[in-house]
Structures are given as C-alpha cells and as structure tokens.
Structure 1
Amino acid sequence: MSKTWLITGSASGIGLSTAELVLARGENLVATARNVDRLLNLARRYSQQVELIELDVTDAPAARRVVDTAMERFGRLDVLLNNAGYAHLSPFEQVSEDDFKAEIDTNFYGVVNLTRAALPLMRRQKSGHIINISSSSARFGSPGSTAYTAAKWAVSGFTASLAKEVKPFGVKAIAIEPGSIRTNWTRVARGHVPPLLPEYEPTIGAIMRITEGYAGTEPGDPDKVAVVIFDLSRQDDLPEQLVLGSDALGRIAQSDAVRSAAALYWDKISRSTDFDEPTTPLPLLD
C-alpha cells in the first residue's frame, strides 16, 4: 500500500533525495521548501502524486495548514520527515542573539511545529512514522556550532521522549543522526563565519582549516540515506536514534570513550549527593 509523505526542506540534500525516491516508488508527497521553484521539475514529472507548498517551518500556523492540505489532497498522512535545517559556523560569543535564535527556531522548533500539527491525525489513524533529522554532533558537540548542536541535541531528546509517548497507539518516532553528507550543508555552514577573535583561532579557526575544500567530498551519500529513510517507513520496530555514516560512528565512539572515562573518574562525586538511606529509583519506561 502506498503512503503519503510530508517532507520539509525538500529542495536540497536529504530532503530532495528522499522526495525523488518517494515519488519514483509511487508514493504521494507534500513537498515543502522556502522556495518551491526548485521543485517544479518534480511537479511536472509526478503531477498526480505531489503537492508543492512554500513553508517556513518556524511558522506554526503555516505548519498546520500544510498538514490540512495533505489531508485535503490525499486523505491521510503516513510519514512526516522533518528535514529542514541549517548551520552557520561561528564562535558563540560572536553570534548575534537574533541569529542564534533563528538557528534554534528552524532546527528544533520547526520539528516541534510540524510534529504538533501531524500527531493528532496520526493518533486518530493509529499509525504513522515521524522521522526527524538530527545530527551525530548531538552526541559529542563541535566548536563553532553551539546553536546547531543545541538544537539537534534537543531534536534527539524530544524524539526519544515522543517515541515512548506515541508507541502505544501505533505511531513510531525516530531521530536520524547522520555524519557528514554530501549536500550543501558544509558550504552554507562555512559561508557565515565572521572575522575570528584571536582566542578562537585554536578551535573554530582549526575547524575552518580542516573543512577547507571539504564541501563536495563528504563521505555520506544522500541517496543512500534516502533509501534507509524509506525502509524505516515500512518498519514497526525502530530505535529511538539511528546513527548513519562511518565517520559519525567513529567520532561517537571516541566521545563515548571519553565520557565513560570521565564517568568512572567522577563516580564517587556523582554518588555523593544521595541521601544516606536506600531509595528506589524510578523505572525506565520502554
């Protein structure tokens, strides 16, 4: 049975690769982007299957209207892929309050807005998949991306809690945590770095030198990511987070080793804040 998808950030990267695959496999699609002109070719090729809608994901009422349009056009919504997002590399100290908030709003509240709009109808259907694009950097942090990493950490935490809430009535939620994907992410991220204060040369300056010429050579293939996402939409038993990419696995393993060593070193301090009498910890709900 074909499904109806709603994909944010459909005009490029993982969103575009998934949109192409979904339509090629006969699914219905509501494709959103800030500028849908880049999607007109899809509309010409798959006119019966696709609805194009301009959307700023930070606009909650607009998100609700998009979900309403999906229902009016196709009668149901089966898969929500929250893909829209971006990063601007910069030291936190040199990011304006407005720019920091804008990055959080797009990368995190965009996910919240679309999920809030889609979840009631998925609950009534007793079925649906909510697939949120997070980032492997949510696991370890990276200099120069405080807003982006904070938002993606929030996406992964939000999704883990949501997955437990919606599982009993047939809705699945998963956060995808990819490594570097060969999209325009690196180029956009590097394109807004201010003249660095000298104190940030060893950190953000090093990141800039390492990533010089990196755009277009990233190891992750967005078309292969799209295949994984499509396959997830057919599965009922999903992890709350799924890491994609050998580079992501390597960096997370390094970070986990550092955390484990730190936890062992500070174990006595960590335990020292309990009351002396025995207590029963809260159980972890599946």
Structure 2
Amino acid sequence: MTTPTKNPAGRVWLITGANSGFGQAIAQAAIAAGDTVVAAARRPETLDALVAAHPDRVVPVRLDVTDPARIAAVVADTLLWYGRIDVLVNNAGRGLIGAVEEYTDRELRDLMELHFFGPAALTRAVLPHMRAQGSGAVVQMSSMGGRFSFPGVGAYSATKFALEGLSEALAQEVAGFGVKVLIVEPGSFRTGFAGADALAQATVIPAYEPVVGHVRSGLPDSDGKQAGDPVKAAAAILAALDAEHTPLRLALGNDAVDGVFGTLDNALKEAREWESVSRGTDFDA
C-alpha cells in the first residue's frame, strides 16, 4: 500500500462496504473523477484488486461499522493521513427476509446495529471535522424500502426508515455549516445484495408462506438479473452531490421511482380521506 499523503488527489472519500456492490461502484466513480478513496471493509483483503489498480488513490482499511472503537480509529487515521474527509458514504449492509412474527430480537437488533447505529456513529465521528472545514457531504445508502415497505422485508425497511428519519433532521441541522446530506433509495440493482452471502432468512412460520413465500424465493432468484446498473447509480450519486441543489432523497431505478410515486399518491389520498377526523382532535376554541 502506498503511504498516504497530506496532499491527496481531489476530494477524500470514506466509503464503507467498498469491496462490492454500490460501495465498489461509488469508489470507482470517485477515482474516475480524480478523487481519493479510503475504502473500508470487514475483510480488507477483498479490496486488493481495487488497490492494485489504483495504488496512489485507494487506501484499504479494516472496519466493522458495528465496532465503535474501529470507527473512531478509522476516522482518526484518515484525518491523520489526509487532513480532511470530504464525503462519507455509509453503504455497508445486508438483507433479511421474513415476516415480522418470524424475526428474533437478536436478528432485529443486529440489523439495526449495522444499518442505523453504525452509520449514526460514523456520521457523528466525521461531522466535527466537516463543520470545521465548512464543507462536506454525508451519503446515506438507504433503499426504496426506506420509503415504503411490503411483506417479508419489515426488518430491513425498519432500519432504513430509522436511518432516513435521522438523516432528514441531520440535513437541516448541518446545512448552515456547508455540509450536504444525500439519502439514496435504490431499487433492484445487480449488486450481490440478493446473493446467499448477503441475504439472511428468518425462521419460517408456514402460516405466512402465502404472503411472504414469493419474497423468500423470488429475491434470491433475482440475483444477477436485476435491471439496475450500479455504475449508472454511482454516476447519478456523484451528479447529485455536485449539483447546486443536492436533493435530500434520490430514488434510483424505475421500480424505486414507481414505488415512491405510488406511495406518495396513496398517502395523500388517505390523508385527504381522514383529514376532517385528523383535524377534529384539538381542544375546542
């Protein structure tokens, strides 16, 4: 590994889960844009090919985002090497399929640690430095499942809903410091997310098979056949970050866009139908 320099090329990115999927695609897009990447993964040896291809622009680090001590160490090392962090991408994650009754407490807590508490800790760790430099961006890799949910993915969606709620407040809190927040909501992309190594299954309760069974079998079967291109997704993310007015949320993929529009339409329709009831609960003037 090349010794990091205090004069890095372009922006400095810290990307979790950089060894595959969206993390790898974003890292490659950042490198192509002339930037420098601190690529984090639980097994940094899986980053060897990326490092070999760009030895002067990529630094691999070992990071399990559920380990607070390692979070602090990686952020400290990155600042020691480069003096700044311009973009944090919270990308590390995995899937879990099952009906709500099928999940164990341990499964729910572990997924929340990975998708919510880890990103929250990393975000808090980099914010003092971004505020001090008066610039920066936090990219939260959520999902279309962070905007709406459906049977079989309740646990996954719950973690992403939590991340989006935190990030929506965060965006308003840090805008005055020159820090952007971008919530990315991909649909189905060929990232390996649906592969056996990344997708866990809860213990099956047969009664739920009519409503969850097609997700339990269909999601793994979709692996490698999804319509979404991670390279195009990474390009869209960089374009959104570079825009004068970066969106708070960026849905990616036709399925995500269709789902978001459908969810918004249904939510508005329901709110209108119950508006008089909702407005009738204040004390009488």
TM-score where L is the length of structure 2: 0.91
For residues 227-255 of structure 1, what are the alpha-carbon distances to aligned partners after superposition, in whole Å with 9 as ceiling and x for unaligned?
Answer: 12222332342121111111111122222
Of 153, 159, 170, the residue aligned with 2:178 is 170
- Alignment match, 1:276: 284
Paired residue type of 2:240: L
- Superposed CA deviations along residues 128-177 of structure 1, whole A, max 9, x for unmatched, are 01111111112221212222101111111111111100011111111011
Residue in 1 that maps onto 2:187: 179
- State the Cα RMSD in Å: 1.8
Unmatched runs of 5 consecutive residues or more in structure 2: 1-8
How far is 1:192 from its partner?
A: 3.1
Question: Which residue matches 2:18?
Answer: 10
Question: CA-to-partner distance for each residue in 1:104-147, whole Å, 9 max, x for gaps?
Answer: 11011121011011000000000001111111112221212222
Q: One-letter code of the match for 1:262? A: E
Against the structure 1 CA distance between its residues 24 and 257, is the aligned structure 2 distance closer, same or farther, given a 3 Å change threshold?
A: closer
Q: Is the 8 A contact 2:51 2:59 kept in 1?
A: yes
* Whole-Å separation in 1 of the counterparts to 2:246 and 2:198: 34
Cα distance in 2 for residues equivalent to 1:85 and 1:143: 20
Q: Secondary structure at the match of 1:211?
A: helix
CA apart distance, 1:212: 5.5
What is aligned with 1:147? 155
1:108 alignment partner in structure 2: 116
Please tell me whether the aligned partners of residues 172 and 236 of structure 1 are also in contact (alpha carbons under 8 angstroms): no
Whole-angstrom distance in 1 between the partners of 2:216 and 2:124: 37
Name structure 1 gaps, 5 residues minimum. Answer: 278-286
The match for 2:107 is 99
* Residue matched to 2:236: 228
Structure 2 residue aligned with 1:262: 270
What amino acid maps onto 2:99 in structure 1? Answer: P
Show the counterpart of 1:250: 258
By how many angstroms is 1:70 displaced? 1.0
Name the CA distance, whole Å, in 2 between partners of 1:276 and 1:248: 43
Helix, strand or coil at the partner of 1:176: strand
Aligned counterpart in structure 1 of residue 39 of structure 2, from 10, 31, 40 = 31
Pick one of 48, 73, 81 that aligns with 1:73: 81
Shift of 1:216: 1.0
Please, which moves more after superposition, 183-192 or 134-143?
Answer: 183-192
Q: 1:234 to 1:194 in 2, by over 3 A?
A: closer
Indicate if the aligned counterparts of 2:93 and 2:114 stay in contact, CA closer than 8 A. Answer: yes
Normalised TM-score (structure 1): 0.91
Equivalents in 1 of 2:45, 2:185: separation in Å? Answer: 29
What are the residue-to-residue correspondences of 1:125-164 with 2, within 5 Å?
A: 125-164=133-172
One-letter amino acid of the structure 1 residue matched with residue 221 of structure 2: G
Larger displacement relative to structure 2 (150-159 or 188-197): 188-197
Contact preservation (8 Å) 2:240, 2:247:
no
Aligned to 1:284: none
